[in-house]
Amino acid sequence: MGKLLIVNGSPRAPRSNSRRYIEQFLPCWGETADQYTALRGGPLSPEDCTDLLLVFPLYADGIPAVLMRTLKELAVWRGTARPRIHVLVNCGFLEPEQTRPAVEMVRFFCKRYGFPWGMALQIGSGEAILNTPFSFLVRRGLRRLAAGMRAGRSEVLSVRMPLNRRMFVWASGRYWTDYGAKNNITAGEMRTMEIEGG
């Protein structure tokens, strides 16, 4: 197996769900991996790696700006042995298919700049999925992602909570109401456009 570099492409990198997904992915990978945080910037050194895993949340149906900077750096990189690029993207929508435009952006980048395309794992159901009994679905998806990466496959995998839309909307509303209550914010205050008192 080659060397893996994992890029945390979240704008909230230190306290992000992307970090949590990386932590859960590493045991599935079974070997050590270097990590790079796009938010911090700095030189990206993919010279020795055979695989590059981009982990990020969906932002406005695309890639977060901090990850775009990393891709721009990769675009001008002159190394000859190009690492295979893989994607792990999550979104707040129930449907993981909502992440398809972001996955296609990375696939287009790979084609344009000569990087081999690898695996993709699209995770729907928002950050809540990690805190539910359905988190085993994420772990299973991460194991399949790691196995596909090791085997050199190129396929798109998807994970979501097995809820209908109505139940998901109810559960997510409850989640955010409880989250607001922990921060002394009422549901009514969350429904207003005013973000600062006054």
Kindly report the pTM of this predicted structure.
0.86
Confidence band of 81 (pLDDT split at 50, 70, 90):
confident
Residue 141 has pLDDT above 70, yes or no: yes
Pairing assessment for the beta strands 84-90 and 117-123 based on DSSP bridges:
parallel
Together in a domain, 82 and 18? yes
Together in a domain, 42 and 29? yes
Together in a domain, 70 and 154? yes
State the chain's mean pLDDT as an integer: 87
CA distance 67 to 44: 12
Long-range contacts, stretch 194-197, CB < 8 angstroms, 24+ apart: none
Together in a domain, 97 and 177? no
Together in a domain, 140 and 188? no
CA distance 108 to 180: 39
Residue 149 has pLDDT above 60, yes or no: yes
Burial annotation 145-165 (CB, 10 A radius, 16+ → b, else e): bbebbbeeeeebbebbbebee
Average pLDDT over residues 129-154: 92
Find the domain containing 136 and state its range: 4-162
Residue 197 has pLDDT above 60, yes or no: no
- Reported as type and span, the H/E element at residue 141 is helix 135-151
